[in-house]
Amino acid sequence: MNQLVGCNFYVSAGRVGSSKFLVSLLLAAQVECHHLRMESGPKLDGIVPAVLVHAFADSSYDRSSFHLAGTSWAVQQVTTTLANLAITALKEQQVYEEDDSNSKMQSTTAHPHVGFVDHVSIMPLMLPTTASVATFLSKHDFYPKHAIDPQQQQHACGEAAKNVGKHMSEMGWKIHYYGSASSDNASLAHVRKERTNFFKSGGLDEACSTPNIARTTSCVGSPLNFVENFNIRLSASDTASGKKAATSLCRALRERDGGLQGVEGLTLPHSSSSSPESLSW
């Protein structure tokens, strides 16, 4: 059954040398969302089928994300299009510019990763509780007229994630499923730790000139609740004190260390030409 969902799509590319590739993904997502709105397909009470909510390129970590929202069927279509374009670009060596001198001048700080198409997450979107927000959305065709069943919504997310993963598998990708898309409902953190090299990984730079199986591996799934990421960047006079402060903050917020429920966190080095000693997590 068609349900209201969100999707975060991550690729391990975010520097200047990948600009044309990233813009092609951005344009493809926008065009696909427009076509779905114009075409007759599975709809949900007249709601807009799919929208590109946000896109972000993180040059420091060579990582970019695309955030979608809409009906499960339409979001699945757009996400599959993004995955297809990204995989094809990597196979045809069209991700990085031949003259990538600007990117080489940027920070090579590594972000943990599973592969090139690193992570695809399709998640349930719950209805807003604020009356003013609900009224605004209903006037702009973003608000379904029927009540949402959380179980049906979670099932739709899992099925959409599995369909995206199946398409990627058919293109030669190794998929690690999690959440409602996996047979054991394993969490993303568990899958990353036990089934991939996520916590042992560096950047993808070392793999650019030689084949690396990790480049063709992805985590695809559906968490029980909507999940979003935030970066907190800390600066310090020296590396040791900066790392200590970032680690302390991360532990204070992270659930497994006694922090806030549902919060996960990583402490990562962050360097730039203007602040080489800064850290973020």
Q: What does the pLDDT average to over 171-194?
A: 94
Average pLDDT over residues 16-36: 95
User: In the prediction, which pLDDT does 167 show?
Assistant: 97
Lowest-confidence segment of 1-10, 40-49, 227-236 by average pLDDT: 40-49
Q: Judge whether 15 and 170 are in contact, CB under 8 Å.
A: no
Least confident piece of the model among 10-24, 133-147, 204-218: 204-218
Q: Does 281 have pLDDT greater than 70? A: no
Question: Facing residues of 268 across strands?
Answer: 280
Tell me the whole-structure pTM to 2 decimals. 0.82
Cβ proximity of 88 and 81 under 8 Å: no
Tell me the two tokens of residue 26.
């951005």
Per-chain mean pLDDT for the chain: 81
Contact of 186 with 178, CB cutoff 8 Å: yes
Length of the chain: 281
Alpha helices in 53-212 (DSSP H): 72-91, 101-105, 131-139, 150-170, 188-195
Q: Are the CB atoms for 24 and 96 separated by under 8 Å?
A: no
The pLDDT of 173-182, averaged and rounded, is 96
Model pLDDT, residue 232: 82
pLDDT in tens, 30-89: 999 999 988 866 666 667 799 999 999 988 888 999 999 999 999 999 999 999 999 999
Q: For the chain, what is the radius of gyration of the CA atoms? A: 19
Over the stretch 80-113, which tens digit does the pLDDT of each residue have? Answer: 999 999 999 999 988 987 655 444 444 456 678 8
- Whose CA is closest to 204, among 8, 9, 55, 10? 10
Q: Look at strands 217-222 and 50-58 and give their pairing.
A: unpaired
pLDDT score of 26? 97
**pLDDT beyond 70 at 198:** yes
pLDDT band at 204 (very low <50, low <70, confident <90, very high): very low
With cut-offs at 50, 70 and 90, classify the pLDDT of residue 138: low
Chain centroid, CA 20 distance in Å? 19
Q: In this predicted structure, what is the pLDDT of residue 211? A: 40
Please give the average per-residue pLDDT across 256-273, as a whole number: 79
